[in-house]
Every structure is written in C-alpha cells, then in structure tokens.
C-alpha cells in the first residue's frame, strides 16, 4: 500500500528536527568540553540517542563540527539579508548588522559556532574549511555593502575592507572574554562595542 504524502512528511520533519537538535547540542558541548574531548556517546546522550543512531544523521564526528559552524554562519546570513531588505538608510543597515552579530554571539547559535571556528578550525579537513570559507565570504559581502554605503555618506572613514576586518574581528573575539555574569549586561556591552568600533555611526545615532 502506498504511503500518503502526509505520512511520509511526518518522519522527514522529525528527522529534520532531530538533526537541528543535534547540531545545537553539539555546539554547546564543543564549546564546553572542546571538540576532541567530546565523545560520540556524549553527543548521542545529549539528545537521547544511542551512539550508533547518531550516524543516521551524520556520517562522522567531523561532519557534526562542520554543521555547527555552517549553521551558525547561515543563521546570521539569513537574518542579515532580511535586515538589509527591511532598511534603506546606511546608518540603519550598519547598526542593524552590528547588533545582529553581537546578539548572535551573545545569545544565539552564532556564539557557539564562532567559538568552534576560533578553537576547532584545525580539526576540519581542507574540503570542509572551503565550505565554511564560502559561507563566511557570503556573510562578509553583506558587511562590505553596508560599510561601503556608510562610507559614502560619511558615517565611517577609511578603507572598507580594513574596517570590516577590524569590526568583525573585534566582535568575534568577545566569545573569549564575555561572561553573562560580568559587570555589564549584554546590551551595555553591545553599546560600548559599537561606540569603540564605529564612533562615527555611534555619534550619528546619539549614543
């Protein structure tokens, strides 16, 4: 007897949900314990699977690490593209990208992904690194566009490529030192980072 489309869709949706759950759980474990020290059993236990069942979703452990990084980057690409479509003014676009990136690092999947990219990059094969580099380049293109637009109206001064590297590098480094129980809230840290990284934009915004 043929299965209906709805009956086939249910297992597929469940698989997709478990796949995402695994990526998010792995990201947290890699950040807490390190990629090399995190075992397949720990990854499976985190989502209530047997160790062997993990490989129904991923071929090997490296593929999980690749998915962690790719998921984090793709999430900010998607949100960044939506933000650029919503706003027309250069100041709004650049501020929006900055706040989106910081929110992703501090509160979203981007923080775990960036932590993995900083500390576990060497664990990827050259082929996997190329995939992540392609996504990173796509995300940087959003910033390149926003910074060029901001430079055209005098909100930033200097070489756009250098500005992009300096701003993104400074923000990404927060995964090394930011603590939720620190002396500043997440919003306060973001404000201070924006003032330090983009003073012309901050003055324009009245910060």
Q: Sign of dihedral through CA atoms 97, 98, 101, 104?
A: negative
- Tell me how far apart the alpha carbons of residues 103 and 189 are, in angstroms, rounded to a whole number: 10
pLDDT band, very low/low/confident/very high, at 3 (cuts 50, 70, 90): low
Does some domain include residue 29?
no
Sign of CA dihedral 204, 205, 206, 207: negative
Whether residue 11 lies inside any domain: the answer is: no
Helix locations, the chain, DSSP H: 5-33, 40-46, 61-86, 90-107, 109-120, 126-152, 160-172, 174-177, 186-197, 199-205
Write out pLDDT tens, residues 25-64: 999 999 899 999 999 899 989 888 887 888 888 889 999 9
Where residue 34 falls (left for φ over 0; alpha for ψ -120 to 50; beta otherwise) is: left
pLDDT at 199 over 50: yes
The structural domain count of the chain equals 1
User: Does residue 65 sit within a domain?
Assistant: yes
Cα–Cα distance, 170 to 197 (Å, whole number): 8
Per-residue model confidence as pLDDT tens digits over 72-95: 899 999 999 999 999 999 999 999
139-154: per-residue pLDDT in tens? 999 999 999 999 999 9
Q: Residue 22 domain-assigned?
A: no
Burial of 16 (0-12, 13-18, 19+ CB in 10 A): exposed
Q: Are 186 and 106 in contact (CB under 8 A)?
A: yes
Asked, for residue 177, whether it belongs to a domain, the answer is yes
Residue 160, domain member (yes or no): yes
- Give me the mean pLDDT over the 105-109 stretch: 81
Structural domain of residue 169, as residue ranges?
A: 60-205
Contacts for 149 with CB less than 8 Å, ≥ 6 apart: 90, 93, 94
* Cα separation, 110 vs 175, whole angstroms: 10
What percent of the chain shows pLDDT beyond 70? Answer: 93
C-alpha 76/C-alpha 109 separation (Å) is 9
As a whole number, mean pLDDT of residues 7-27 equals: 72
CATH number at residue 114: 1.10.357.10
Rounded percentage of the chain residues whose pLDDT exceeds 90 = 60
């Amino acid at each position: 007897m043929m299965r209906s489309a709805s009956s086939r869709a249910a297992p597929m949706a469940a698989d997709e949900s478990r796949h995402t759950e695994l990526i998010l759980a792995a990201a947290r474990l890699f950040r807490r314990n390190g990629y090399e020290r995190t075992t397949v059993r720990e990854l499976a236990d985190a989502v209530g699977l047997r160790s062997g069942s993990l490989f129904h979703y991923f071929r090997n452990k490296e593929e999980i690490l690749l998915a962690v990084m790719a998921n984090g980057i793709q999430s900010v690409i998607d949100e960044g593209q939506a933000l650029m479509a919503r706003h027309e003014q250069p100041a709004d676009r650049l501020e929006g990208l900055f706040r989106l990136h910081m929110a992703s690092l501090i509160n979203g999947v981007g923080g775990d992904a960036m932590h993995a990219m900083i500390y576990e990059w060497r664990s990827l094969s050259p082929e996997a690194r190329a995939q992540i580099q392609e996504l990173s380049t796509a995300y940087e293109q959003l910033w390149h566009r926003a910074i060029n637009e901001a430079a055209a109206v005098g909100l930033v001064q200097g070489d756009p490529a250098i500005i992009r590297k300096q701003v993104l590098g400074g923000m990404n480094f927060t995964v090394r030192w930011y603590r939720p129980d620190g002396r500043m809230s997440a919003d306060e840290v973001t404000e201070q980072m924006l003032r330090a990284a983009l003073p012309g934009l901050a003055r324009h915004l009245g910060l």
